[in-house]
Structure 1
Amino acid sequence: MNTITFKDIYTPGRVKEDNTQFIHIHDPEMLIRYDSNFIKFKQMPSVVEFMDVENHLRNFHQRNGQKHLKFYFPANEKPPGSFLDYLNQSDYETGFLELYAIKPADFPAGERNAEISIKFVSENTFAQFLELQYGQEKGYGEEFAEQKLEEHKRNYSRKHIQQVIAFYGNQPAGSVDIILNENTAEIDSLYVHEDFRKKGIGAQLQKFVMDSFPDSTVILVADGEDTPREMYQKQNYTYIGFQYETLKVVK
């Protein structure tokens, strides 16, 4: 398996600033999405250094009407206890992500459910794909869902992003985006509609990725404190590392 790091994970947005201390990612097309508007530190900052960069990002976001502050810390480094205390006292929510990778041949075959069919999104299924996405994303607000809808439309024409839809019988039931790089295929936004969960759709979506890109290393990021990570471990994914993140929503 090729060496995989968090640098292999796709980040929507544009590089606004890149210096020795941090990289600033900004997405003018989706200002309210936390994961494409943030600062990532290249070295673990001290509390004083963090406060200075925090103020920098706050001023930038205020000028753009953005109401959040998000930061990523260097991979495989946990912020010191005093730093975590500052973040907690300053109303940040801090957690960590875990990076996993697998060679497609190592993914378990599992039992196939004949009711499930998986397809790359086409002109014939694109409207169903959009409706499925909108249904899940409106839970984050109408504005977010509308902006995501436009992003899905842009992604449809991007060769490095492959959109996949799952049907249970004739009903749209799940989806996943596959982000392609030279040596990797990244599983992103894996989703199964609540009415069709525990039927094996998530596993078959992953198996579709494995079968479609057998020569790539398949990678994904999981919430380090959520249950899907346990599923990935049982499916023979290799744990690569962790990355701490922190978020504050400004009211």
Structure 2
Amino acid sequence: MQITFDNIFIHSHITAENDLYNHYHFPEMLSRYDSNYIEFKTFPKLEDLKEAERYLREFHRKHGQKHVKFKFPANEKIPAELVKFLNQENYDIGFLELYAIEPHQFPDVKDNPDIKVQIVTEKNLRDFLALQYQQDIIFGRNFADQKVELNKRIFEDPAILQLLALYKGTPAGAVDVIITKNTAEIDNLGVDEAFQKKGIGSGIQKFVMDTFHDKTVILVADGQDTPKEMYKRQNYQYLGYQYYTQKVEE
């Protein structure tokens, strides 16, 4: 099957749609930028972008949100006219990269008795939530508190599997795996700083590969971050990119 950004799960709802864009809104977590934004179907003209900006800013302000975020069509560079405007208005511009792998292509991972990967159940949910909270608190208490509630809802979703990795018995890493008929999407993969470079991330991924050996494993990486280099070394196939822009307004 052909994998595109349309295969990536979005924690959000389409609250408005027209020929130019979809407006995603997630009242369950208003502080999550990745769930509250406009995604353009085609590149807007400058005046259309300004109008979408006015609309989204007003909408977000009514809901106590301080950010404005746009995603652009996949595998296309932002036109120079729009880049100039976004830079003038102090937007941050970044891009995402899409990767996929067939589980049998993942490199062999030596068994490490210090690392145990567990499916999250009622027994270890508290440990999972505590580890996630520790990683999310850097974005502020409000964000971390809302993320706890989101993680609890995800726990109840049969289409998403949460995994917790232990290093010598201590919670050290976690991931969400979003399951569809043909794909298993790795989302929110994180390892605590104190346990970096011990093979925990690879151990979590190997667990995913073994569990979903009959599916294509997919993920989205920040195009400006270092983990994408790890995915390339692990035989993931690069499939495309998507630009986005955002600004936080006080």
Q: TM-score, normalised by structure 1?
A: 0.98
Partner of 2:37: 38
Partner of 1:180: 179
Give SS of 1:159's match: coil
Amino acid in structure 1 at the alignment position of 2:61: Q
Give SS of 2:27's match: coil
Partner of 1:221: 220
Partner of 2:146: 147
Amino acid in structure 2 at the alignment position of 1:4: I
Give SS of 1:29's match: helix
Q: Does 2:239 correspond to 1:240?
A: yes
Give SS of 1:43's match: coil
Q: TM-score, normalised by structure 2?
A: 0.98
Measure how far apart 1:132 and its partner are. 0.4
Partner of 1:116: 115
Give distance in 1, aligned partners of 2:235 and 2:102.
9
Give SS of 2:29's match: coil
Give distance in 2, aligned partners of 1:126 and 1:84.
44
Partner of 2:71: 72
Structure 2 unmatched runs, 5+: none
Give distance in 2, aligned partners of 1:181 and 1:17.
25
Give distance in 1, aligned partners of 2:227 and 2:111.
20
Give distance in 2, aligned partners of 1:230 and 1:179.
22
Give SS of 2:241's match: strand
> For residues 123-167 of structure 1, what are the alpha-carbon distances to aligned partners after superposition, in whole Å with 9 as ceiling and x for unaligned?
111111011011111111001110000111111110011100000
> For residues 6-41 of structure 1, what are the alpha-carbon distances to aligned partners after superposition, in whole Å with 9 as ceiling and x for unaligned?
011110111101211100000011111100000000
RMSD: 0.8
Measure how far apart 1:110 and its partner are. 2.4
Give distance in 2, aligned partners of 1:248 and 1:198.
33
Amino acid in structure 1 at the alignment position of 2:233: K
Partner of 2:80: 81
Give distance in 1, aligned partners of 2:77 and 2:110.
39
Partner of 1:5: 4
Give distance in 1, aligned partners of 2:202 and 2:88.
40
Give distance in 2, aligned partners of 1:82 and 1:17.
26
- Runs of 4+ deviating beyond 6 Å: none
Q: Does 2:57 correspond to 1:58?
A: yes
Give distance in 2, aligned partners of 1:71 and 1:212.
35
Measure how far apart 1:182 and its partner are. 1.7
Amino acid in structure 1 at the alignment position of 2:139: Y
Give SS of 1:58's match: helix
> For residues 31-54 of structure 1, what are the alpha-carbon distances to aligned partners after superposition, in whole Å with 9 as ceiling and x for unaligned?
111000000000011211111111
Give distance in 2, aligned partners of 1:143 and 1:75.
31
Amino acid in structure 2 at the alignment position of 1:110: V
Q: How many residues align structurally?
A: 250
Give distance in 1, aligned partners of 2:226 and 2:121.
32
Give distance in 2, aligned partners of 1:31 and 1:246.
18
Measure how far apart 1:121 and its partner are. 0.5
Give distance in 2, aligned partners of 1:112 and 1:77.
41
